[in-house]
Amino acid sequence: MRVVSEQVPTPQEALDALAEASSQAALVRRAGRQFGYVLLGIAAIYLSAGALISTLPDPRRAGPFVGLALLVLLTGGLIGAIWILYRIRAYSRTSLAWYFAGIAAFNLWNGLVVGVSIGTRWWAATQPAYHFGLSAIVAVIPLLVAAWLIGRR
């Protein structure tokens, strides 16, 4: 902290201070990109669950092993996402805003996809199981867009 009676910083001191600030800003941007990795992880979990359910001959009679596999998949993925979020020490407000906007958009969009899939009988008992996987692919679009927007900053 400088006292008012001290001299103005030299040009070299000012350049050094700007370089340090630029370096710190780059570290914050790099740390903020981890929000994008979390969004990609959530999309991977959702797509993996959709793929698992899509490969079943009859999802309504899947048996206990598929339920256990889904539980392990979801639990492991969420623990990984929480671990990444816990490690983020510094982030930009923009990255945080894109992260929460992506989560909110995913929830709204996923609700629409599910509603339309049920309403149009895309997920009817007479339809093949891969329809669930196709719906999962459409549902993760907001997560992928938000991760891309975070990553390009």
Which pLDDT tens digit goes with each residue over 49-64? 988 888 877 666 667 7
Confidence of residue 124 (pLDDT cuts 50, 70, 90): confident
Alpha-carbon distances, residue 121 vs 46, 86, 103, 117, 127 (angstroms) = 21, 41, 26, 6, 8
Confidence of residue 128 (pLDDT cuts 50, 70, 90): confident
Alpha-carbon distances, residue 104 vs 61, 77, 110, 125, 140 (angstroms) = 32, 19, 10, 30, 12
Residue 110 pLDDT exceeds 90: yes
Least Cα distance to 92 among 41, 30, 134 occurs for 30
Q: Give the global pTM.
A: 0.76
Residue 103 pLDDT exceeds 90: yes
Question: What is the residue extent of each domain of the chain?
Answer: 31-151
Least Cα distance to 143 among 74, 42, 29, 30 occurs for 42
Element (H, E) at 134: helix 130-139
CA angle 21, 10, 28 (to 5 degrees): 0
What is the rounded distance in angstroms from the CA atom of residue 112 to the CA atom of residue 96? 24
Which of 70-74, 104-108, 129-133 has the least mean pLDDT? 129-133
